[in-house]
Amino acid sequence: MRRRLLKGSALVAAACVTSLLAALAPSATAAPVSAPASQQSAGHGTSPSLKRVGYFTQWGVYGRDFQVQDLDTSGTAARLTHLNYAFGNVDKNGRCFLTPTPGESDPWADYQRPLDAATSVDGVADTDTQALAGNFNQIRELKAKHKGLKAMISLGGWSWSTHFSDAVLTPASRKALVSSCVDLYLKGNLPKDGVRGGEGAAAGVFDGIDIDWEWPGSAGDTDTVYRPEDKQNFTALVREFRTQLDAYGKQQRRHYELSAFVPTADEKIDAGFEVRKVMRDFDFVNLQGYDFHVSGEKTTAQQSALFAPGDFSVHGTVESWLKRGAPARKLVVGMPFYGQGWTGVTGGGNGLGKPATGPAPAKWAAGYADYKELEPLVAEGKFKVHRDLLRGHAWLFDGTTVWTYDDPLVLATKAAYVRARGLGGAMAWSLDGDTADGKLMRALDRGLGR
């Protein structure tokens, strides 16, 4: 009965999306809600298909105890087309690197940590004589089990975009940066640490590179350097990546993919991206589809609404990239597997758009909770679910605390939008926020169509 109700609600939501497309995006109404045959996915190895991209966090193997194996046991790996490994870092010399540096690099998690049989994808314990262990080896095993699954190394992220601007100032520095990343991650030439690492140790683990520079030409984390010329230098960096990936791919007789995580705000797009130029070299880009509002703000608000006239939204982000010349088929919509939360909310009503005293308490970080933390709050009756089906978002409210998040119904709505607009697929940040049985990824996969 529960599955039937969810399916019926999803159909209502999809109908709402279709109606809103007609009202808000007339140019899109010619596209059917069901994906054209050329975009239907028949599983891994079928091309073209709607992409299902998910980020796996390096640090999640510690406190959250979310291992690569969990992607297999949850059913998520079978539903992904791309697994993005977060993150690789660039040092002050403008090179990709993997040396033990607290807060900057973790080769132990990446390729040195041995896993026992119980936590290994293939059920075989790592030995003390193998060159590759850790997450990289588990990704290799995952790909062997799920043919066609691609793994991308994501470079940067919010905390590790510090040195991008300095690293791309000249043709020589860009060439050296890209060469170091190709050597480390695609050729797999890892630093030697006892038996671990060495030339070619991680060859074949990664199938491409994802650039997560946050943000070229505009402010990011407090120590991240940015300058006006980042915009042109980013274009040149992307061109250099494409050139070197194609050259190495020719040697290997294969195609290495290139993607990026890109922002929602118009000012950040215009400050850092020559959209028409860079999109020629990208296989696809992952659009920021969340953190439209965050728990550090003084008023509660949606963080990932599909439609929000006059505010940030998924639809607004898609339109911003389309009108600047990005092909729809290369736009992959980012979706959160977590919620943004506020506490000390006053003013009554449903809690949204109300003043708050600060970020809500949570397990890992104030104001940020994995979906698997939020789901029990509903099941236990501690929070009431509020929905705006027309705008495509949901939130929880208990009278004093608000959490704005995406649940399976919201994801189904967004998947219908992706198909209706002829977009490239969906991306999830991050997979460790899902339930043990992969409930969110399953809903997203079904919505995109198999």
> CA 110 to CA 327: how far, in whole Å?
34
Provide φ and ψ at 108, rounded to 5°.
Answer: -60, -50
Decide: helix, strand or coil at residue 439.
Answer: helix
Find out whether 194 and 121 touch, Cβ atoms under 8 Å. Answer: no
List the beta bridge partners of residue 395.
Answer: 386, 404
Task: Indicate the burial class of 386 (C-beta count within 10 angstroms; 0-12, 13-18, 19 or more).
Answer: middle
The contacts of residue 395 (CB under 8 Å, 6+ apart) are 300, 302, 350, 351, 352, 385, 386, 402, 403, 404, 405
- 3-state secondary structure labels for all residues of 180-224: HHHHHHHCCCEEEECCEEECCCCCCCCCEEEEEECCCCCCCCCCC
- Which entry of 141, 214, 240, 375 is annotated as an active-site residue? 214
> CA 56 to CA 41: how far, in whole Å?
22
> CA 85 to CA 57: how far, in whole Å?
6
| DSSP H or E stretch at residue 259 | strand 257-262
What's the one-letter identity of residue 357?
T
Please say if 375 is a catalytic residue: no
> CA 48 to CA 128: how far, in whole Å?
41
Decide: helix, strand or coil at residue 98.
Answer: coil
Task: Indicate the burial class of 171 (C-beta count within 10 angstroms; 0-12, 13-18, 19 or more).
Answer: exposed
Q: With CA atoms as reference, report the closest residue to 92 among 193, 191, 223, 248.
A: 223
Residues known to be catalytic: 214
